[in-house]
Amino acid sequence: MAYKNFILVCGGTGCESCRSEEIYKNLMMEAEIQGLKEEVQVVRTGCFGFCEKGPIVKVLPQESFYVEVKPEDAREIIAEQVVKGREVKRLLYDKGDGAAAAAAAAAAEGKADLRSYQKQYRIVLRNCGVIDPENIDEYIAREGYEALEKALFEMKSADVIAELKASGLRGRGGAGFPTGMKWEFTRAAPGTVKYVICNADEGDPGAYMDRATIEGDPHSVIEAMAICGYTVGATKGYVYIRAEYPLAIERLRIAIRQAEEYGLLGKDILGSGVDFDLEIRLGAGAFVCGEETALMRSLEGNRGMPVPKPPFPATSGLWKKPTVINNVETFANVPMVILRGSKWFTSIGTEKSPGTKVFALTGKINNSGLVEVPMGTTLREIIFDIGGGIRNNRKFKGVQTGGPSGGIIVEKDLDAPISYESLTALGSMMGSGGMIVMDEDDCVVDVSKFYMEFCVDESCGKCAPCRIGTNQMHSILDRMTKGSGEPSDLAKLEKIGQAMTKASLCMLGGSAANPTLSTIRHFREEYEEHIRDHKCRAGSCKTLLRFSIIPEKCIGCGLCAKRCPVQCIAGEKKVAHVIDQAKCIKCGECQKSCKFGAVVKS
């Protein structure tokens, strides 16, 4: 016996609150009443995202996607779909009849079909979670190395550049420089020795898009680098990757070896006469090496300190030779741009920022994970539809993009479509793709301090604005979180921040003040509370916390006193207890242990 249909009922928290449990029971009951228990299996699932349209029901194998389903719809779903094999049109997310026709029309025009409820569109991650990254054959079977074939045998190097320029692909490391132009400058630069570098030194704490891409699909990067080598006339490439990513390094090693065995790297690739070798070089835990000039100094075996530009790497890069340096995600796009063409690529995303962007969605979010969306998707769609909203029903406070170089984006700006320009206009930046969601329990002063501490650690020390400025800002932020901020501190932070932004040698110092400046802009009153009232409304600056016991609520059970690790709670049995504020270490155990809600945090 085998089931004909499977009805999936979303059991995510959002859907559950909208009676998905009842829907589940009704579907089971209806299947039984209509005598179909052997025909259909009703299954409860994890969160499907798309919570605002919940509850969600999906029927397989037809892939019918029903939204805003009510318990009383169960009978119709069973009677129509399972018995008669017809979809319940009024519940479908995509009610149009012409889904197949629209897809065909898009394909005929060479455009992408983007009408999926999923909101994600995977170009960079096309093979991640699909193929075995340690088996080159699986990559090859999925159009792998077809773009290399096409470039080598059907396109001149000028054609490759023309296609890339027409595609509008921009650097996904964060700066957004047009990739085609980078390649063109390098190709045009005089000299016979040139290099291709892949920047896999993903240093933003809280971002792991590049790691996942290399771990899941290393050949996409290798193929793109070989295409780049052919295009700009380089025969040697380097992947500079964080030493902290052992699995990615191992998979890349295996992939390079397999590509060499098949003759897709090395001498005379596929008999084309083109040579290209690839070597892995490890980073050693310096955030500044994500900056391209610092990365190249490091690759040369030196301290990774940035140098002023110009000269740009395209004319004088690694060992002073013309060099293309692109980020992992940028490279992973290239084979698809070459294969499907610029027309297809520009049909995705926005006019000035075509294509997709991968984000590592983390923090106080329900479905944290790796997401790839077309540019132009809104932050709200990413956080609330794909991400399933904020954990534990807390209130959304802000989302940090661009990591320690970016800024916070608040509720009122969530509907802005994502592009390089829009995020900069909102006082943040695209960055490499870290997206950290904060809720009301996160203190902006504390988070700014966290990012500034990171910049203090990572500043290479070469230029004074960054070396001194980050330290000064950190010490001011630190004293604010400890209740000894001074009234002039806010102005000082702004002044130092602006100086660093203007005068630093590279983007590390140039953007280190961003998290602080952007949170001051949006949450000035919270900073003022820290300074003036020694108060942290989020309750995360521990020194400023105060636990106390409401005498009316306390029954004197003594549980909190027993749990207190420093024995600072005193009181007779059955009499209200008191916390000795001088001894309290603010661990919060008393509040956790109290069954009567008598311990309060302020």
Partner 1 sequence: MGKMTLTQLRKHREQKQDDVARGKVEGKAIQVIIGMGTCGIAAGARKTYDEILRHVEEHGLASQVLIRQTGCMGLCTVEPTVEVVMPGLPSVIYGKMTADSAKDLVLKHLVGKRLLNNHIFDRPAVDIIGAASHGGAASVGATSNSGAASVGATSNSAAAKGND
Partner 2 sequence: MENKEAGFSPELTAFILEWKDKPGNLIMLLHRIQEEYGFIPRSAAETLARMIDLPLAKIYGVVTFYHFFKTSKPGKNRIAICLGTACYLKGSQDLIDEARDLLNIEGDEVTDDGLFSIDAVRCIGCCGLAPVLQVGNEVFGKVQKDQIAEIIAKFRT
Binding site for partner 2 (CB under 8 A): 202-208, 211-212, 243-245, 281-287, 298-304, 319, 360, 362-364, 368-369, 400, 403, 434, 436, 438, 442, 447, 450-451, 454, 457, 460
Cα–Cα distance for residue pair 433/165, rounded to 1 Å: 23
Binding partner selected for residue 418 from partner 1, partner 2, none, CB under the kind-specific 5 to 8 Å limit: none
**Which amino acid appears at position 374 of this protein?**
P
Enumerate residues 6+ apart whose C-beta is below 8 A from 442. Answer: 364, 397, 538, 540
Residue 178: what are its φ and ψ, rounded to 5°?
Answer: -60, 125
CB 514 within 8 A of CB 469: no
**Does 134 help bind partner 1 (rule: CB under 8 A)?**
yes
Which span sits near partner 1 by CB under 8 A: 28-36, 112-120, 193-201, 498-506? 112-120
Least spacing, CB of residue 437 vs partner 2, in Å: 9
| Shortest Cβ 400–partner 2 spacing (Å) | 7
Quick one: residue 495, left, alpha or beta (phi over 0 = left, psi -120 to 50 = alpha)?
Answer: alpha
Considering only 81, 127, 199, 333, the residue that binds partner 1 (CB under 8 A) is 127
Beta pairing, strands 407-409 & 396-401: antiparallel
Say whether residue 331 binds partner 1 (CB under 8 A). Answer: no
Which of partner 2, partner 1, none does 421 bind, CB closer than 5 to 8 A by kind?
A: none
Look at residues 423, 295, 443, 286 and name the one whose alpha carbon lies nearest to residue 353: 423
Contact 473, 432 (CB under 8 A): no
144 binds partner 1 (CB under 8 A): yes
Number of residues interacting with partner 1: please give it, by CB under 8 A: 88
Phi, psi of 169 (to 5 degrees): -60, 130
The least distance separating partner 1 from the CB of residue 447, rounded to whole angstroms, comes to 21
- Out of partner 1, partner 2, none, what residue 38 binds, judged by CB under 5 to 8 A for its kind, is none
Report if residue 26 touches partner 1, rule: CB under 8 A: no
Q: Choose the one of partner 2, partner 1, none that binds residue 49, judging by a C-beta under 5 to 8 angstroms depending on kind.
A: partner 1
Burial class (CB in 10 A: 0-12, 13-18, 19+), 557: middle
Q: How many whole angstroms separate alpha carbon 334 and alpha carbon 221?
A: 8
**Considering CB distances under 5 to 8 angstroms, the limit depending on partner class, which of partner 2, partner 1, none binds residue 363?**
partner 2
Q: Which of residues 205-244 bind partner 1 (CB under 8 A)?
A: 208, 211-212, 215-217
- Pairing label, strands 5-10, 40-45: parallel
Q: Which does residue 243 bind out of partner 1, partner 2, none, counting CB within 5 to 8 angstroms by kind?
A: partner 2
Q: Which of the choices partner 1, partner 2, none does residue 582 contact, using the CB cut-off of 5 to 8 A by kind?
A: none
**In angstroms, rounded to a whole number, what is the distance separating the alpha carbons of residues 511 and 404?**
8
- E-only strand ranges, 46-126: 57-60, 64-66
Q: Are 408 and 400 in contact (CB under 8 A)?
A: yes
Q: Which does 186 bind (CB under 5 to 8 A by kind): partner 2, partner 1, none?
A: none
Among 356, 381, 357, 445, smallest CA distance to 408 is for: 445
Binding residues for partner 1 restricted to 58-77, rule: CB under 8 A:
58, 60-61
* Residue 199: CB minimum distance to partner 2, A: 15
Residue by residue, DSSP assigns 216-242 as H-HHHHHHHHHHHHHHHT--EEEEEE-
Stretch that binds partner 1, among 339-347, 402-410, 452-460, 543-551 (CB under 8 A): 339-347
d(CA 252, CA 264): 14
Q: Which is nearer to partner 2, 490 or 513 (CB)?
A: 513
Which partner in partner 1, partner 2, none is near 93 (CB below 5 to 8 A by kind)?
none
Under 8 Å CB-to-CB from 116, ≥6 apart: which residues?
A: none
Smallest separation, CB 279 to partner 2 (Å): 8
Count of other CB atoms within 10 angstroms of residue 35: 9
CB 263 to partner 2: min, Å: 23
Which amino acid is located at 446 in the chain? D
Return the range that interacts with partner 1 (CB under 8 A); candidates 106-114, 301-309, 409-417, 536-544.
106-114
Q: Tell the burial category of 330 from Cβ atoms under 10 Å away from its Cβ (0-12, 13-18, 19+).
A: buried
Cβ nearer to partner 1, comparing 14 with 304: 14
Nearest distance, CB of residue 156 and partner 1, angstroms = 6
Restricting to residues 369-408, which ones interact with partner 1 according to CB under 8 A? Answer: 369-372
Rounded to whole angstroms, the Cα distance separating 182 from 547 reads: 58
For residue 573, what are its two tokens?
């049995």
* Residues 496-535, mask of contacts with partner 1 (x by CB under 8 A): ----------------------------------------
According to the binding rule CB under 8 A, does residue 25 interact with partner 1? Answer: no
Binding partner selected for residue 97 from partner 2, partner 1, none, CB under the kind-specific 5 to 8 Å limit: none
CB of 109 closer than 8 Å to CB of 346: no
Write down the least CB distance from residue 288 to partner 2, Å: 9
Q: How far is the CB of 448 from partner 1 (least distance, A)?
A: 26
